[in-house]
């Protein structure tokens, strides 16, 4: 076997090895650790690109760990969706690590190892084809995320992390209950085998199986940040340090990925034609998340909370879109997922730069001033001072993030939203759900515009303290790179959308996945 | 009869765990999570079906009949689950102590509610 055959396991083994290696390197040799960390993340991006091209050619690639064939051994499965997700996680990893070089890597012990373990868990969750293995990888990245949420310490982080950890531990227990119920009903944990048994109708106790699926769904939805299971999210995400927040942008997407994978695999080829009992609920819950996120964006007084609620808006849009279950809509939603995750990552990094050097509580003061003292009494300030280049760059980056997240033209956020709306209005008879979704998508975009514009105007044009943050190039570079990537995805919307459409079609024909995994050699 | 006893046991553990999880003190929450994870662990174990008086692996001298075994997979799963919940509980305890030190209270919200 050549290295190419072992490609699917590299996204798991590489960060594991790098993270473990860094544990034995002395804490004060930060430069070596940083070099290893960034190099590993870059290799992960390269592996991700290779995997996407492999998936484009071979549709579904199965890697048998220990050469045990399914359903007896654990398999890793690479298809278009998982390859894209691995690539996305790698890109976010590089961005967050490069950003952290300036100062965050010194804010707490073993930062680089933790990031690598997080990437390992996330990649494993994307690649595995086994339900219990999925649980293990969920725990790996969650444990790493607990440590990362605490990175930098401080009372606010400790308090927010406490809620985050307790919430996720409880959700993990639900995951275990769901997985064991499914095992009890079907006698297997291999996802393809479970799907095959479901379609063949050989599962003894279908009620037990469905209850297991429902409990499992609740666990995934809690991690995806679905309303009303998402109250922990804004607190934890806004308290996290900037690189941690940027990496957390992909964690909710792991929940969405799990829903998408398990949902399409277990619940049948055509979700729209034969909806499962939970699908209407998922549509409603997704829309509820969207509304909650949009209201949160409107109510946010500071940048970190704005970013956290934007995560919820993105999650809600995705959950509602994938629950409606049209193939074309899923393809568009996948495109939206990729671009909104990139934009959220850039935004989380940007927020810290923008907030840097400000007096704590300045936002509250500004809001209070806006509400109670409408008169601006600072007439005598000089007008037309030089506009510092740093502020200009930050402002441009902020504007681009806002345009991406609100879904305004010309950037990729608009393409994603437009493609979703286009897919919603394809059938001849347009159901009420589509109209509601249309209204919510546009309203949430409008709410994002208002929230972002208010925050941006207050910070960049009417800044109460007027200080220019001291920003290093290595911090600005990943943000600009992510935004350039978004712009590139806008111009390359055709090919990327086609790729993700094929990914959606493969998801809606689970037999392709099942046949490939279950074939004996 | 066996099933009823085990089911009631799991129910009591899970119920107490959920009740404690909703309490305002961090220590109660930690104990609640531990009880819940015990309940889940026993639950996973029971999913492999209860059998009384069956040989764990192979009876002496007898031919190996797979149908006579206890299902080994839930046992492997529960072992993994125990290890993971052990590790995460340890981490939670560290955060509890840190929160107690940083905020000066053992309330889960990091401050006593205003009365």
Give the residue numbers spanning the domain of B14: 2-51+71-103
Q: Is residue A29 within 8 Å of residue A105, measured between CB atoms?
A: no
Q: Is residue A17 within 8 Å of residue A77, measured between CB atoms?
A: no
Other CB atoms within 10 A of residue A507 CB: 25
Residue tagged 């069956």 (tokens): B54
**How near does any CA of chain B get to the CA of A477, in Å?**
34
A425's torsion region: left (phi>0), alpha (psi -120 to 50) or beta? alpha
Write down the ipTM of this complex: 0.90
Q: What separation in angstroms does the CA of A249 have from each of A136, A240, A315, A349, A414?
A: 20, 11, 10, 11, 19
Question: What are the two backbone dihedrals, phi and then psi, of residue A75, each rounded to the nearest 5 degrees?
Answer: -115, 150
Is B113 among the domain residues?
Answer: no
Q: Which residue of B has its CA nearest to A158?
A: B99
Q: A408 at the B interface (CB within 8 A)?
A: no
Give the residue numbers spanning the domain of A238: 3-365+388-516
Provide the pLDDT for residue A467: 65
pLDDT digits (tens, 9 = 90+) for A168-180: 999 999 999 999 9
Query: Which residues on A lie below 8 Å from B95 (Cβ)?
Result: 146, 150, 158, 161-162, 165
Report the number of distinct structural domains present in chain A.
1
pLDDT tens, per residue, chain A with 521 residues: 577 788 889 999 999 999 999 888 888 888 888 899 999 999 999 999 999 988 888 778 888 888 887 788 888 999 889 999 999 999 999 999 998 888 888 777 888 899 999 999 999 999 998 888 999 999 999 999 998 888 877 788 888 888 899 999 999 999 999 999 988 888 888 888 888 888 777 777 788 888 888 888 889 988 888 888 888 888 888 888 888 889 998 999 999 999 888 888 876 544 444 555 567 788 888 899 999 999 999 988 888 888 899 999 999 998 888 888 778 888 889 999 999 999 999 999 888 888 775 655 555 545 544 554 444 444 444 444 445 777 788 888 888 888 888 888 888 888 888 888 888 887 667 777 888 888 888 899 999 999 988 888 887 777 655 566 677 778 888 888 999 998 898 888 888 888 888 888 888 888 888 888 888 55
| Angle between helical axes of A389-406 and A303-324 (0-180°, round to 10) | 30
Is A380 among the domain residues?
Answer: no
Please tell me the distance from the alpha carbon of residue A2 to that of residue A409, in angstroms, as a whole number: 45
Provide the pLDDT for residue A275: 52
Q: Which residue of B has its CA nearest to A139?
A: B84
B29 pLDDT higher than 50: yes
Q: A132 at the B interface (CB within 8 A)?
A: yes
Query: Which residues on A lie below 8 Å from B104 (Cβ)?
Result: none
DSSP string, B75-102: HHHHHHHHHHHHHHHHHHHHHHHHHHHH
In the numeric block, which tokens belong to residue A47? 């592996």
Query: Which residues on A lie below 8 Å from B14 (Cβ)?
Result: none
Please tell me the distance from the alpha carbon of residue A250 to that of residue A266, in angstroms, as a whole number: 24
First to last CA, chain B: 49
**How near does any CA of chain B get to the CA of A164, in Å?**
10
Is A101 among the domain residues?
Answer: yes
Is A216 among the domain residues?
Answer: yes
B67's torsion region: left (phi>0), alpha (psi -120 to 50) or beta? alpha
Q: Is residue A469 within 8 Å of residue A354, measured between CB atoms?
A: yes
Write the residue in B47, B92, B99 that is nearest to A184 by C-beta. Answer: B47
| Angle between helical axes of A206-224 and A242-266 (0-180°, round to 10) | 160
| Rounded percentage of chain B residues whose pLDDT exceeds 70 | 85
In the numeric block, which tokens belong to residue A2? 């050549």
Residue A418: which H helix or E strand, with range? Answer: helix A412-424
Please tell me the distance from the alpha carbon of residue A376 to that of residue A83, in angstroms, as a whole number: 54
| Cα torsion through A281, A287, A288, A293, rounded to 10 | 150
Is A375 among the domain residues?
Answer: no
DSSP string, A37-106: HHHHHHHHHHHHHHHHHHHHHHS-EEEEGGGPPTTTS-EEEE-HHHHHHHHHHHHHHHHHHHHHTTTGGG
DSSP string, A303-357: HHHHHHHHHHHHHHHHHHHHHH--HHHHHHHHHHHHHHHHHHHHHHHHHHHHHTT
In the numeric block, which tokens belong to residue A73? 């051994």
Query: Which residues on A lie below 8 Å from B32 (Cβ)?
Result: none
In the numeric block, which tokens belong to residue B72? 């080994």
Report the number of distinct structural domains present in chain B.
1
Task: State chain B's mean pLDDT as an integer.
Answer: 84
Other CB atoms within 10 A of residue B30 CB: 19
Is B30 among the domain residues?
Answer: yes
Provide the pLDDT for residue A278: 62
Residue tagged 């006579």 (tokens): B68
Are the beta carbons of A165 and B29 separated by less than 8 Å? Answer: no
Query: Which residues on A lie below 8 Å from B19 (Cβ)?
Result: none
pLDDT digits (tens, 9 = 90+) for A367-383: 544 554 444 444 444 44
Contacts of A423 (CB under 8 A, 6+ apart): A326, A328, A329, A331, A332
> What CATH number does the domain containing B39 carry?
1.10.287
Is B110 among the domain residues?
Answer: no
* Selection from A15, A105, A173 nearest residue B34 by Cα: A173
3-state helix, strand, coil in chain A (%, to 5): 75, 0, 20
Contacts of A463 (CB under 8 A, 6+ apart): none
Q: Is residue A240 within 8 Å of residue A157, measured between CB atoms?
A: yes
Please tell me the distance from the alpha carbon of residue A171 to that of residue A182, in angstroms, as a whole number: 17
Provide the pLDDT for residue A271: 47
pTM value is 0.89
Q: A222 at the B interface (CB within 8 A)?
A: no
* Selection from A457, A449, A352, A348 nearest residue A404 by Cα: A449
Respond yes or no on whether the N-terminal peptide bond of residue A228 is cis (omega within 30° of 0): yes
Q: Is residue B8 within 8 Å of residue B42, measured between CB atoms?
A: no
Query: Which residues on A lie below 8 Å from B80 (Cβ)?
Result: 132, 136
Please tell me the distance from the alpha carbon of residue A264 to that of residue A252, in angstroms, as a whole number: 18
Is A377 among the domain residues?
Answer: no
Helix (H, G, I), strand (E, B) or coil at A204: coil
A466's torsion region: left (phi>0), alpha (psi -120 to 50) or beta? left
In the numeric block, which tokens belong to residue A414? 């608009």
Please tell me the distance from the alpha carbon of residue A261 to that of residue A507, in angstroms, as a whole number: 7
Please tell me the distance from the alpha carbon of residue A276 to that of residue A296, in angstroms, as a whole number: 31
Provide the pLDDT for residue A379: 43
Please tell me the distance from the alpha carbon of residue A259 to that of residue A286, in angstroms, as a whole number: 12
Torsion sign across C-alpha atoms A298, A299, A304, A308: negative
Is A352 among the domain residues?
Answer: yes
Other CB atoms within 10 A of residue A475 CB: 23
Are the beta carbons of A155 and B110 separated by less than 8 Å? Answer: yes
* Selection from A295, A326, A327 nearest residue A309 by Cα: A295
* Selection from A144, A146, A169 nearest residue A23 by Cα: A144
Provide the pLDDT for residue B9: 93
DSSP state of A128: B
Q: Is residue A404 within 8 Å of residue A340, measured between CB atoms?
A: yes
Provide the pLDDT for residue A301: 80
Is A227 among the domain residues?
Answer: yes
**Range list of H helices, A203-324:** 206-224, 232-239, 242-266, 279-299, 303-324
Determine whether A469 is exposed, middle or buried from the number of CB atoms within 10 Å of its CB (0-12, 13-18, 19+).
Answer: middle
B55 pLDDT higher than 80: no
Other CB atoms within 10 A of residue A473 CB: 8
In the numeric block, which tokens belong to residue A370? 């806006």
Q: Comparing A296 with B60, which gets the higher pLDDT?
A: A296
Is B112 among the domain residues?
Answer: no
């Amino acid at each position: 076997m050549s290295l190419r055959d072992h490609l699917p396991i590299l996204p798991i083994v590489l960060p594991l090895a790098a993270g473990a290696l860094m544990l034995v390197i002395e804490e004060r040799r930060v430069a070596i650790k940083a070099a290893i960390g960034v190099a590993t993340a870059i290799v992960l991006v390269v592996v991700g690109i290779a995997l996407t091209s492999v998936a484009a050619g071979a549709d579904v690639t199965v890697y048998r760990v220990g050469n045990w064939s399914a359903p007896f051994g654990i398999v890793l499965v690479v298809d278009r969706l998982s390859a894209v997700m691995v690539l996305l996680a790698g890109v976010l990893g590089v961005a967050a690590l490069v950003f952290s070089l300036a100062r965050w890597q010194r804010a707490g012990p073993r930062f680089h190892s933790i990031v690598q373990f997080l990437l390992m868990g996330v990649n494993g969750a994307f690649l595995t084809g086994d339900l219990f293995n999925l649980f293990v990888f969920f725990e790996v990245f969650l444990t790493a995320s607990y440590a990362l949420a605490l990175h930098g310490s401080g009372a606010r982080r400790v308090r927010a992390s406490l809620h985050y950890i307790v919430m996720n531990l409880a959700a993990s227990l639900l995951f275990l209950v769901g997985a064991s119920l499914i095992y009890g009903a079907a006698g297997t944990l291999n996802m393809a085998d479970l799907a095959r048994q479901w379609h063949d109708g050989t599962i003894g106790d279908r009620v037990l199986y469905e209850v297991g699926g429902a409990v499992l769904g609740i666990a995934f939805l809690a991690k995806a940040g679905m309303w009303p299971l998402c109250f922990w999210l804004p607190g934890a995400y806004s308290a996290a340090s900037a690189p941690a927040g940027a990496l957390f942008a992909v964690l909710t997407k792991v929940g969405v990925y799990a829903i998408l994978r398990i949902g399409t695999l277990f619940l049948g080829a055509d979700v729209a034609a034969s909806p499962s009992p939970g699908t209407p609920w998922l549509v409603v819950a997704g829309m509820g998340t969207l509304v909650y996120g949009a209201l949160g964006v409107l109510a946010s007084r500071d940048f970190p909370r704005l970013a956290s609620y934007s995560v919820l808006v993105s999650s809600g849009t995705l959950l509602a879109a994938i629950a409606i279950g049209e193939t074309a809509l899923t393809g568009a939603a996948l495109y939206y997922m990729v671009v909104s995750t990139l934009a959220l990552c850039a935004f989380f990094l940007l927020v810290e730069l923008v907030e840097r050097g400000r007096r704590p509580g300045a936002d509250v003061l500004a809001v209070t001033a806006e509400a109670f003292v409408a008169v601006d009494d600072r007439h005598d300030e000089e007008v037309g001072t030089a506009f510092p280049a740093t502020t200009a760059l930050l402002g441009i980056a902020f504007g681009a993030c806002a345009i991406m997240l609100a879904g305004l033209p010309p950037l990729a956020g608009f393409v994603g939203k437009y493609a979703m709306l286009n897919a919603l209005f394809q059938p001849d008879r347009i159901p009420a759900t589509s109209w509601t979704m249309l209204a919510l998508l546009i309203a949430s975009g409008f709410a994002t515009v208002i929230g972002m514009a208010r925050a941006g105007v207050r910070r960049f044009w009417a800044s109460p303290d007027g200080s220019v943050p001291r920003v290093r190039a290595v911090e600005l570079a990943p943000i600009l790179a992510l935004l350039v990537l978004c712009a590139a995805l806008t111009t390359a919307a055709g090919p990327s959308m086609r790729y993700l459409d094929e990914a959606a079609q493969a998801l809606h024909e689970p037999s392709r996945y099942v046949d490939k995994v279950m074939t004996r050699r | 009869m066996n099933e009823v006893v085990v089911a009631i046991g799991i129910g009591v553990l899970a119920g107490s765990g959920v009740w404690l999880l909703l309490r305002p003190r961090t220590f109660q929450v930690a104990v609640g999570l531990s009880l819940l994870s015990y309940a889940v662990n026993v639950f996973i174990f029971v999913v492999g079906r209860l059998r009384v008086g069956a040989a764990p692996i192979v009876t002496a001298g007898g031919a190996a009949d797979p149908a006579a075994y206890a299902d080994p997979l839930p046992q492997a799963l529960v072992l993994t689950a125990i290890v993971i919940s052990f590790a995460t509980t340890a981490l939670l305890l560290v955060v509890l102590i840190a929160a107690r030190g940083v905020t000066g209270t053992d309330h889960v919200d990091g401050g006593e509610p205003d009365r």
